[in-house]
Amino acid sequence: MTERGQVRYGNSTFEYEVVRSTRRKKTVELTIDGQAGLLVAAPVEVPLDRIESMVRRRARWVLRKASPAMLRAHPRQFVSGESVLYLGRRVRIVVEDAEVRRPYIRFRHWSFEVLAPRSLNGEERGEAIKRAFVRWYKARALDRLGAKVRRWAAVLGQCPAEVLIRDQRQRWASCSSDGTLRFNWRVVMAEPAMVDYVVVHELVHLAVKNHSAAFWTHLAAVIPDYAARRRRIRELGPFLSL
């Protein structure tokens, strides 16, 4: 099965393909192929998130050695071997044909098992699986963000009117004047620490409506490293999508 990932460095985004080897014991090696692009040779047991971290560290070297055409990122097709982010980790997709009316997703042992209708093929199949992933993420976002809001609301002494999950393209979350918190479902693709930052940020807005000095002081009292987390989620932004 083909495993692929994407990395953003500065204004450039490039794709790489992982080649697993049972003979390779420890090392992860990057090579650039004129036809295949960036290839990452890795032992079978090395997780995708560790491979992605290494590619990020070597991004400057990759961009210096390869032409843009070699590294062109391709749209996700939602086939076996691809991966998507969940809670900051790359999770592999395994697609199986099944007698189902529409794609169904199971998350087990840090793998996404997708049961797809036998009748669907090509682009139609990929789009149907993508919609299934959106439904799955929205459901998980409601559960996880709801729990985190309850936890941090108790710490801050706040009580939001309602928590809603939305498909917001331009922002991670928002706090309305009536106390309703709206979260982008893509937030749960990020690391738990980033999710906490987004939740606490909006809860602080229940007390301080703007981004004044008082707001940041209030936020720092709860999350002292908020600035680093804020930078991190901005860096992750382009990758938190399907």
Highest mean pLDDT among 61-65, 150-154, 227-231: 150-154
Distance, in Å, from the CA atom of 191 to the CA atom of 144, rounded to the nearest integer, reads 12
Share of the chain above pLDDT 70, in %: 93
pLDDT of residue 26: 77
Confidence check: pLDDT of 99 > 70: yes
pLDDT of residue 70: 64
Domain ranges for the chain: 3-65, 83-139, 140-239
Q: Which two tokens stand for residue 215?
A: 């707001």
pLDDT band at 231 (very low <50, low <70, confident <90, very high): confident
Confidence check: pLDDT of 221 > 70: yes
Helices 213-222 and 226-236, interaxial angle, to 10°?
100
Mean of the pLDDT values across residues 111-134? 94
Q: Which two tokens stand for residue 204?
A: 């602080």
Distance, in Å, from the CA atom of 233 to the CA atom of 190, rounded to the nearest integer, reads 7
> What pTM, to 2 d.p., does this model score?
0.74
Q: CATH topology for 140-239?
A: Zincin-like (3.30.2010)
- Residue ranges of E strands in 22-99: 29-33, 37-43, 83-86, 89-98
Confidence check: pLDDT of 33 > 90: no
SS3 state at 115: strand
Confidence check: pLDDT of 177 > 90: yes
Distance, in Å, from the CA atom of 113 to the CA atom of 95, rounded to the nearest integer, reads 6
pLDDT band at 203 (very low <50, low <70, confident <90, very high): very high
